[in-house]
Structure 1
Amino acid sequence: MAADLTLYTNPMSRGRIARWMLEEVGAPYETVVLDYGTTMKNDAYRAINPMMKVPAIVHQGMVVTEVAAICAYLADAFPQAGLAPAPAERADYYRWLFFGAGPLEAAITNRSMGVEPDARQQQMAGYGTLELTAGTLESMLKDRDYIAGNRFSAADVYVGSSLMWYTGFGLLPKSAPFMAYIARIADRPAHRRASEIDDALMPAKADAG
């Protein structure tokens, strides 16, 4: 019988974020580790995600891709984990979760590829400039402990993971607000468990594609 909840991932991918979220949720799940260039592109996985990207989850036959969507979905699917604010208190939760998935990731990706929008292009780009985007997020984190206020949520899994990666690779400055926020969330038991699981898979999955 197929597992009720399955994670398709590679330890050298954004799948690490999805695993952290799954460990926070605490529900049992099966892991399918895919290789870049081989199993990630075969017909079986393409039927799950035609983009041939990881991660993806399948929960009770339903497919969810895109890491921010996976985090939000799991928070709703497993409300007992307390990873989503009450519906009336979700303004900041949604705002910053999708800020991380939209303007922040786009700005980082473009800078990494050497794309620097001119003044006219900045009007077209949802993020304007990387400096504006990073400064906006930094200002928000000066005044609160977590993305949605004073309680950890699924938005912290996504945005926090992004900040860990971006500051770790020198794509964002290691500013005091960023590093204080990262320190608050990095030592969570679920994050440690998820990191240990994926780190243990790294030697067998050295193909970065």
Structure 2
Amino acid sequence: MDATLYTNEGSFDSVVLRWIALEKECPIVIKTLVSSPRNTVRLPYFQDRGLALFDHNVVLQYLQERYPGEDLLPSDPQLRGQIRQICTLIRETESGESIVADLDSMLRGNEYLVGRDFSLADVYAGAWLQVNSALPKALPTRVFNYWKKLAARPAYKDALQ
């Protein structure tokens, strides 16, 4: 039985997990379900060899460990901690303006949020920018150009389809 990731349209968690699975070239089936009041399945939902995972972070860790593809977390513990902290900040901060200001600051002098390498923090930022693309205020040039660079990644494009 193929591993399957069930997601829903427009959900931050679903965009993150689809993008990660595609970035790592995981050999899994991705299905997008339509949310409805009658649908009692919690999404995103991942199933692999009899194992069912519901929590976004648990699925994320499972994909990182089970599928070796591109590693979105560096081996350096300090960088891993920094990336995880950025992911938590993006996921838990309610103020869109605050996140945009933080992204702008982190990108000052950096190609990506944590230096020169694409990482999990960039997946979170790109997913957040996509889900919140109707922000009332224009993005700072640095953040807008960064988002364009992320959007050019094939896995990003595929994750949104």
* Distance (Å, rounded) in 2 between the aligned partners of 1:182 and 1:149: 16
SS in structure 1 at match of 2:147: helix
Residue deviations 1:106-153 (CA, integer Å, cap 9, x gap):
224xxxxxxxxxxxxxxxxxxxxxx44432232112221112211111
1:191–1:39 distance in 2 versus 1, CA, 3 Å? farther
Residue deviations 1:50-71 (CA, integer Å, cap 9, x gap):
xx3x2222344151423x6544
Q: Which runs of 5+ in 2 are unaligned?
A: none
Q: Which residue of 1 aligns with 2:102?
A: 136
Q: Which residue of 2 aligns with 1:8?
A: 6
2:122 matches 1:156: yes
* Superposition RMSD in Å: 2.4
* Distance (Å, rounded) in 2 between the aligned partners of 1:193 and 1:132: 28
* Count of aligned pairs: 158
Q: Give every structure 1 segment of 4 or more consecutive aligned residues whose post-TM-superposition deviation is greater than 6 Å.
A: none
TM-score, normalized by length of structure 2? 0.81
1:87–1:57 distance in 2 versus 1, CA, 3 Å? farther
* Distance (Å, rounded) in 1 between the aligned partners of 2:16 and 2:48: 17
TM-score, normalized by length of structure 1? 0.64
Aligned identity (percent) is 25
* Distance (Å, rounded) in 2 between the aligned partners of 1:172 and 1:70: 33
Give 1:1-209 correspondences, 5 Å limit. Answer: 2-3=1-2, 5-14=3-12, 15-37=14-36, 40-41=39-40, 45=41, 52=42, 54-60=43-49, 61-66=51-56, 70-88=59-77, 89-103=79-93, 106-108=94-96, 131-166=97-132, 168-171=133-136, 173-195=138-160, 198=161
Relative to total residues, which structure has the larger helix share, 1 or 2? 1
